[in-house]
Amino acid sequence: MLAGMRPQILVVDDEPGVRKALDRGLRAEGMDVTVAADGPTALRLARTGSFDAILLDIMLPGLSGYRVLEELRADGIATPVLLVSAKDGEVDQADGLDLGADGYVVKPFSFVVLLAQLRATLRRAATGTPRDLIRVGPLTIDREARTVRYDDADVPLSPREYTLLEVLATRAGTVRTKQELLNEVWGDEWAATRNVVEVYIGYLRRKLSAAGADGLVRTVRGHGYQLGDPL
């Protein structure tokens, strides 16, 4: 997409209501929209390669969004794709990100959320900036979306929990003292009890464990905490 040009968006969804809403909304935002209602049509249109981004519903008649994405990537079409899934549970069939998706939106979505994701995707594609991801083993942290995945399962974290994990992850394998964590997560001029770090480490462990990640956060007695294996 060149600066100043209207982005070309392909919207693929089998529900006419959703198509219409997206069509109107995106046009009002200055984008050009083409719609498709089923997988084969989407594939045919997408193969022309003339789109800046594709909004792709997963539940499609004929050919699932996953298959469409797979075929596209197999053909070498690198157009950014935002997967739209009806419910959370739908994603676990395959890892969309590994298939080459550039983002997820979960229905029912608010239009502005989708728009923000779409803008970010277009911006990244235009400037060639990669996603700002931190990987620690099977743990993936998306710094832009502030989300965490473990083995393709979402790990829902509160803002504080997320920040703590991100700080631990930025130097995975090294020991961080509680004082450091207090400074970096809770802010500098902070006089609170040090126990709050222990409490949030506990919260983090519980949620990571619920996602299948045990033993990720280690205690180094007398020193602090450490994410993942030592360097």
Partner DNA sequence: CTGCCCGCTGAGACCTCCCTCAGGTAGCGG
Partner DNA sequence: CCGCTACCTGAGGGAGGTCTCAGCGGGCAG
Residue 202 binds which entry of DNA, a copy of itself, none, with Cβ cut-offs from 5 to 8 Å by kind?
Answer: DNA
Task: Give CA–CA dist 46/36, Å, rounded.
Answer: 10
Where residue 153 falls (left for φ over 0; alpha for ψ -120 to 50; beta otherwise) is beta
How many residues interact with a copy of itself (rule CB under 8 A)? 32
78 is a site residue for DNA (CB under 7 A): no
Identity of the residue, 55 or 217, whose beta carbon is nearer to DNA in the bound complex: 217
Report what 49 binds from DNA, a copy of itself, none; CB cut-off 5-8 Å by kind. Answer: none
221 touches DNA by CB under 7 A: yes
Q: Is the dihedral of CA 76, 151, 207, 198 positive or negative?
A: negative
Helix and strand tally (H, E) in the chain? 8, 11
Q: Which residue in 40, 202, 212, 230 binds DNA (CB under 7 A)?
A: 202
* Distance from C-alpha of 145 to C-alpha of 132, rounded to nearest angstrom: 9
CA–CA dist 139, 88 (Å, integer): 18
Q: Is 190 in the site for a copy of itself (CB under 8 A)?
A: yes
User: What part of residues 124-183 is at the interface with DNA (CB under 7 A)?
Assistant: 156, 158-161, 178
The CB-of-160 to DNA minimum distance in angstroms stands at 4
CA 5, distance to chain mean position in Å, is 26
When CB distances are held under 5 to 8 angstroms depending on the partner's kind, the choice from DNA, a copy of itself, none that residue 127 binds is: a copy of itself
Part in contact with a copy of itself (CB under 8 A); list of ranges 61-69, 92-100, 122-130, 211-219 = 122-130
Quick check: 175 and 220 in contact, CB under 8 A?
A: yes
207-212 — which CB contacts under 8 Å span 24+ positions?
Answer: 207/155, 207/156, 207/157, 207/161, 208/150, 208/155, 210/155, 211/150, 211/151, 211/153, 211/154, 211/155, 212/150, 212/151, 212/153
What is the closest distance, in whole angstroms, from the C-beta atom of residue 211 to a copy of itself in the complex?
A: 22
Q: Which is nearer to a copy of itself, 111 or 203 (CB)?
A: 111
Closer to DNA by CB, 131 or 178: give it: 178
State in angstroms the smallest separation of the CB of 156 from DNA. Answer: 7
Q: Identify the three-state secondary structure at position 171.
A: coil
Residues near DNA (CB under 7 A) are: 156, 158-161, 178, 186, 192-193, 195-196, 198-202, 205, 219-224
